[in-house]
Chains A and B, each alone.
Chain A
Amino acid sequence: MLLRHTTNKVADRHALTVNPAKTCQPIGAMYAALGVHSCLPHSHGSQGCCAYHRSTLTRHYKEPVMAGTSSFTEGASVFGGQANLVQAIDNIFTIYNPEVIAVHTTCLSETIGDDIAQIAAKARESGKIPEGRYVFHASTPSYVGSHVTGFAGMTRAMVDYFAEKCGKKRRQINIIPGYVEPSDMEEIKRIAKLMDIPAVVFPDTSNVLNGPQTGKYEMFPKGGVTIDQLKTTGDSMGTLGLGKLASGPAAHALDTKCKVPCQVLDLPIGIKATDRFVDALRSMAGVNVPDDINIERGRLLDVITDMHQYFFGKKVALIGDPDQLISLTEFLVSIDMWPIHIVTGTPGKKFEKRIRELTSEIPGPVNVKAGGDMFLWHQWIKNDPVDLMIGNTYVKYISRDEDIPLVRFGFPILDRAGHSYFPTVGYRGGIRLLEKILDVLLDRQDRDAPEESFELVM
Chain B
Amino acid sequence: METSCEDYICSEIDPEEVKNKLISKYPAKVGRKRSKQITINRIDEEKCVPEVMANVRTIPGIITQRGCSYAGCKGVVLGPTRDIINLTHGPIGCGFYSWLTRRNQTRPNGPEDHNFMPYCFSTDMQENEIIFGGEKKLKEAIQEAYDTFHPKAIAIFATCPVGLIGDDVHSVAREMKAKLGINVFGFSCEGYKGVSQSAGHHIANNGIFTHVVGLDDEIREGKYRINLLGEYNIGGDAFEIDRIFEDCGLTVVSTFSGNSSYDYFKNSHTADLNLIMCHRSINYVAEMMETKYGIPWIKVNFIGAEATAKSLRKIAQYYDEPELTDRVEEVIVKEMPEVEKVRAEVKARCEGKLAMLFVGGSRAHHYQELFKEIGMRTIAAGYEFAHRDDYEGRRVLPNIKVDADSRNIEELEIHPDPQRYQPRKSPEEISELEKTGFKFKDYEGMMTEMSNGTLVIDDINQYETEKLIEIFKPDIFCAGIKEKYAIQKSGIPMKQLHSYDSGGPYAGFRGAINFYREIDRMVNSKVWKYVKAPWQQNPELAATYAWD
A107–B160 contact, CB under 8 A? yes
Bound CA–CA A72/B60 (angstroms): 8
In this complex, the member of A15, A108, A141 whose beta carbon has the largest number of chain B beta carbons within 10 angstroms is: A15
Query: Which of chain A's residues 39-94 have a Cβ closer than 8 Å to chain B?
Result: 42, 45-49, 51-56, 58-59, 62-77, 84-85, 87-92, 94
The closest CB in chain B to the CB of A143 belongs to B91
Q: Which residues of A contact B161 (CB under 8 A)?
A: 107-108, 111, 143
B69 within 8 A of A: yes
A24 cross-chain contacts in B, Cβ below 8 A: 91-93, 96
Among B30, B160, B462, the residue within 8 A (CB) of A106 is B160
Contact assessment for A16 and B91 in the assembled complex, using a CB-CB cutoff below 8 Å: no
B26 within 8 A of partner (CB): yes
Check B191 against A46 for contact (C-beta < 8 Å). yes
* B443 at the binding interface (Cβ < 8 Å): no
Q: Does A211 contact B (CB under 8 A)?
A: yes
CB distance from B179 to the nearest CB of A (A): 15
* Assembly CA distance A181 to B94 (angstroms): 23
User: Knowing A73-B405, A213-B531 touch, does A66 contact B462 (C-beta < 8 A)?
Assistant: yes
In this complex, the interface size class of chain A, counting residues with CB under 8 Å from chain B, is 35 or more
A-B pairs with CB below 8 Å: how many?
A: 263
Cβ of B26 and Cβ of A142 under 8 Å apart? no
Query: Are B481 and A68 closer than 8 Å at their CB atoms?
Result: no
**1/0 contact string of A380-394 vs chain B (CB within 8 Å):** 000000000000001
In the complex, what residue of chain A is closest to B466 when comparing beta carbons? A217
Number of B residues near A (Cβ < 8 Å) is 92
- Contact between A66 and B92 (Cβ–Cβ < 8 Å)? no
Q: Of B37-45, B143-151, B231-239, which binds chain A?
A: B143-151
Contact A62 B485 (CB under 8 A): yes
| Binary contact readout A7-32 vs B (1 if CB under 8 angstroms, 0 otherwise) | 00001011111111011101100000
Question: B122: which A residues are within 8 A, CB to CB?
Answer: 16-17, 20
> C-beta contact mask, A81-123 vs B, less than 8 Å → 1, else 0?
0001101111110111000000000111001100000000000
A52 touches B71 (CB 8 A): yes
Question: Smallest CB–CB gap between B471 and chain A, Å?
Answer: 14
Contact of B91 among A48, A70, A84, A142 (CB under 8 A): A142
Chain B: minimal CB distance from A150 (Å): 10
B421: CB under 8 A from chain A? Answer: no
B431 within 8 A of A: no
B-contacting residues of A (Cβ < 8 Å)?
A: 1-5, 11, 13-20, 22-24, 26-27, 42, 45-49, 51-56, 58-59, 62-77, 84-85, 87-92, 94-96, 106-108, 111-112, 141-144, 146, 211, 213-219, 345, 375, 394, 397, 414
9 A–B pairs (Cβ distance < 8 Å), ordered by A? A11-B148, A15-B140, A45-B160, A52-B67, A55-B101, A73-B195, A84-B60, A142-B92, A219-B486
| Interface pairs A-B: 4 shortest CB-CB | A48-B68, A88-B61, A24-B93, A46-B191
B interface residues (Cβ-Cβ under 8 A, vs A):
25-27, 30, 57-71, 87, 90-101, 111, 114-116, 118-127, 129-130, 137-141, 143-145, 147-149, 159-161, 163-165, 190-197, 404-405, 408, 462-463, 466, 480-482, 484-491, 531-532
